[in-house]
Structure 1
């Protein structure tokens, strides 16, 4: 079966996609009322999801136990991407303060990174935590290009990079310096690979709109950097991998599902531009989708990678 499956939101491009979804399951809109949603992150212990509403300067909370939505944090320093570390703590990228923070279990906030070699970061965008405790984040300039999602300012670093924070020393070092606008990032299930999106086309005519794949070396460096997929509709922003290594990425028409080699096999169609996704639910088989003004979800026949 190829094409859009009527009434579900799934589009089959390759037969391999058919094993990823359940035929009678439909995409659900869980909530609407944002200006630009981003950074969904699942907290298994509490069965809730957090995500950013960047221009409205708040973090929202969806409770899976009763379907309620509330404000988790306001103001949020125009937070963007989030993740959860191995101790169950919230790690956030903040545009306004140009930093990466961690919310401790007692509610206090610790600054993880706000400078590189004494210069302020641009506006950290997306973040992942490796099993060794190292924190990896992208730092494009979107939050300092205008006042809508941060505060207009000049870049002190003068470029956009991907960084790694050492789990022992806290040292911040560049691991990728050849990106125009590094954006979403995610490790492969075995953490041997790091995928990074470049959305440089948003402000550079003819710029990149692709995902690249790097090998992760034992000392925490990156090698390689092959382009594995160019986005066919908009840009690849945030994305996550399932346990079998498939990539589920945001795009202008929904969520694109690709093989580990970047081959597009299917789509989850969403009526708004999608910014990011994450897996949640008790079995990590529920894909949560942030789509411009709304939060969506869909149950899949795949499972996400557990962060612990």
Structure 2
């Protein structure tokens, strides 16, 4: 067993060297975690909670760890033109690039203003939520120049732009909670200027409007495949983290009929999510850090332990368009965000704490 562990560790380090991460220096790297994929097919990490999910599972596909060694991996976005994935490593203040063809992992952008959410717009450009320092939404043009799409609303700085999605009419929608200015881990502590934590819309004409103003720290967001519904995570919801559903008006702007679609219960942590072509929601999942009301005896000490076990919660939950649980993809780390990618748009990339994992499925991303 020890020999097997050493061999896996050696292969992991070889992967780093091949991907170029070793050249970044030890101070830039977090702990790297060896990962042993399941040998059996179908992968026992894919738990079917409803028989209707079986058609999305590929019998001979298993969860893979494509890279590791980050402090908080977030905001994955896939670019089919180049066959690569971009994702944020927030505390290390950089955006990373994974090349699907070569397996190389390199720094796409250093000093990224603690970028969080990323997305590809309809013209193949990167749009990014810089959620600290600059506190703005930017677009990276094809020539590498950066265009600022929004950095203030009604004369006051944005809070900390978090997650982002681009609609077919070229409007850009993003959430603006407080996480990037609440402390020193994911950026720098800053002064809040917005009275609310809004969901904003940037029109194709560049006009910024507050589309939703009554959610407490909204986080992930996505549209249904027909764009008739907008889904938004409320991170600080009462009593639990939730996904709210809104009907999108015929004008593509107005929202109505706010409905709670998914309740994460008192243990689960919703973060980022994506929608497939059938309207199912694939949600990053894990422990929300809530503690039991009473301490337990651990080694002679009274310890307030977590509600639920992270090893039972960490992964991806899949829900139907009606909010019915369909499946759970078990991961060894909490999944913060995910996206679909690959040449056929059926490879699920999962940004999960220190690592990024991937799984081929018989589902395709809606965008």
Global fold match (TM > 0.5) = yes
Deviation (angstroms), 1:154: 2.0
Q: Secondary structure at the match of 1:19?
A: helix
Q: Distance in 1 between matches of 2:351 and 2:220?
A: 14
Select the structure of larger CA radius of gyration: 2
2:363 aligned residue: 302
Please list the CA deviations of residues 118-137 of structure 1 after superposition, one character each: whole Å capped at 9, or x if unmatched: 00000000011111111100
Q: Secondary structure at the match of 2:316?
A: strand
| Alignment RMSD (CA, Å) | 1.4
Q: Distance in 2 between matches of 1:27 and 1:133?
A: 34
Q: Does 1:251 align with 2:312?
A: no
1:240 aligned residue: 274
Within-5 A mapping of 1:255-266 = 255-266=316-327
Q: Does 1:174 align with 2:235?
A: no
Any runs of at least 4 consecutive aligned residues in structure 1 with deviations exceeding 6 A, and if so which?
none
Please list the CA deviations of residues 208-255 of structure 1 after superposition, one character each: whole Å capped at 9, or x if unmatched: 301011011133121111001111442211000100000000000100
Q: Secondary structure at the match of 1:16?
A: helix
Deviation (angstroms), 1:9: 1.3
Within-5 A mapping of 1:79-228 = 79-96=115-132, 97-168=134-205, 170-200=206-236, 207-219=239-251, 220-228=253-261
Higher strand share: 1
Q: Distance in 1 between matches of 2:175 and 2:323?
A: 21
TM-score, length of structure 1 as denominator length? 0.94
TM-score, length of structure 2 as denominator length? 0.79
Deviation (angstroms), 1:7: 4.3
Deviation (angstroms), 1:301: 0.9
2:328 aligned residue: 267
Higher helix share: 2
Q: Distance in 1 between matches of 2:63 and 2:45?
A: 6
Q: Distance in 2 between matches of 1:197 and 1:208?
A: 11
Q: Name the count of aligned residue pairs.
A: 298
Q: Distance in 2 between matches of 1:135 and 1:119?
A: 19
1:40 aligned residue: 76
Q: Distance in 2 between matches of 1:68 and 1:267?
A: 29
Structure 1 pair 41/89, CA: closer, same or farther in 2 (3 Å)?
same
